[in-house]
Amino acid sequence: MHTVLIITNTIDLTVDYLIDKYSDQVQFFRLNTDRFQDYDIHITSEETFIEYQDKSSSLLLSECDALYYRKISMPSLDEYPSRYRQMMQREMMTVIEGIAETAGHFALTRPSIIRKADNKVVQLSIAKKVGFTMPNSLITNANQAAMSFSSTAKSIVKPISVGKIISSETVGFIQTNIVEEHTEITGLNNSPAYFQFYQSKDYEVRLTIVNSELFGVRIDSSDKIDWRKESAQLKYSKIEIPSAIAEKCLKMMWHLGLQFAAFDFIVSQGDYYFLELNANGQWLWLEEELDLGIAEMIIHTLRKG
């Protein structure tokens, strides 16, 4: 039986689903990074050994066949002086990423590859290289450049990275928003943003690709700016992806060294407009909606490499 190390957190429902469904086919070892203190980790030049402190399960990294790197979060360090917390998190992440970079003969996906692939600057360059059609875009930290760009046509603004805002009591997300006409844009100097011309749409497409297998979903949303907003009413349906678009997606994944990716498109009058790629995108909610077979392909890929 193949052994798969999953690096994630305790609230990852996708991993719960996979372990519940496929534990008869795969031996899973789950490393929850937000409970880092629950593990004893020993790393030498000869071997890496990870064991639950309660001795319920352990893993020799040399016996790990594959890695599934999911969603990382850090344990609370409130009990420690604030001046030490950043250093402590950095030390933990160095260990976690070191394990993830060296575990198994195959991975979905090494953190170094995810980090490069999810960089929007890199994506713009490669999307152009493979021939995607895209809305006019500007990533900038210059207030005047952003104002000039957004005054040319109706525009949207979105985060360059995840847009997560963490306070002592809440976690919030900045999502895609319209740039209001005649709004003065300020504060970009040390906080650059991603601007695009607004593209009207008939619908959107989320295309998940696992090991060259395509799982296309059409998304009809009541929110014409960002279907991910909580207030949006959504309808999902399976869709065949045009071969020319599929070829460009696979080429982009090849450039980035990916075996898994989730692509977002706007479709307007039959034309596909590339928005972004997520190298570690969520997929479970679509699997549950449409029984796509993504989970089966992920497990098959982790087992076969």
Q: What is the pLDDT of residues 236-252, one digit of tens each?
A: 999 999 999 999 999 99
For residue 145, the number of C-alpha atoms closer than 13 Å in the C-beta half-sphere is 13
- CATH (residue range 2-108): 3.40.50
**Which residue intervals of the chain are DSSP H helices?**
13-22, 82-102, 111-117, 120-130, 143-152, 243-256, 284-290, 294-304
3-state SS, 75-87, equals CCCCCCCHHHHHH
Q: If you average pLDDT over residues 30-50, what whole number do you get? A: 97
**Spatial separation of the C-alpha atoms in residues 80 and 196, rounded to whole Å:** 42
* pLDDT greater than 60 at residue 167: no
* pLDDT greater than 80 at residue 92: yes
Residue 171 — very low, low, confident or very high, per pLDDT cuts 50/70/90?
very low
Q: Give the strands of the sheet with 48-52, arranged side by side.
A: 39-43, 48-52, 58-60
Distance of CA 264 to the CA centre of its chain: 12
* pLDDT greater than 80 at residue 273: yes
**At residue 150, what are phi and psi to the nearest 5 degrees?**
-75, -15
Q: If you average pLDDT over residues 229-240, what whole number do you get? A: 83
Which segment of 231-235, 243-247, 276-280 scores lowest on mean pLDDT? 231-235
119: its two tokens: 């960089």
Residues whose CB falls within 8 Å of the CB of residue 232, separated by 6 or more in sequence, listed in order: 221, 222, 223, 226
176: its two tokens: 């895609």
**Spatial separation of the C-alpha atoms in residues 170 and 166, rounded to whole Å:** 6
Sign of the C-alpha dihedral, residues 290, 291, 293, 296? positive
**Spatial separation of the C-alpha atoms in residues 9 and 167, rounded to whole Å:** 19
32: its two tokens: 């929850």
Contact between 262 and 278 (Cβ < 8 Å): yes
164: its two tokens: 């997560």
214 has which bridge partners? 209
Does the pTM of the predicted model rise above 0.85?
yes
* pLDDT greater than 50 at residue 263: yes
Give the per-residue pLDDT at 165: 40
**Which residue intervals of 2-54 are DSSP H helices?**
13-22
- CATH (residue range 115-120+201-304): 3.30.470.20
Residue 229 — very low, low, confident or very high, per pLDDT cuts 50/70/90?
low
Q: In the chain, where are the structural domains located?
A: 2-108, 115-120+201-304, 136-197
* pLDDT greater than 50 at residue 226: yes
Alpha-carbon separation of residue 122 from 66, 126, 129, 190 (angstroms): 27, 6, 11, 20
- Choice between 139 and 180, residue whose per-residue pLDDT is larger: 139
Residue whose C-alpha is closest to residue 122's, from 90, 156, 160: 160
Query: Chain-wide mean pLDDT for the chain?
Result: 92
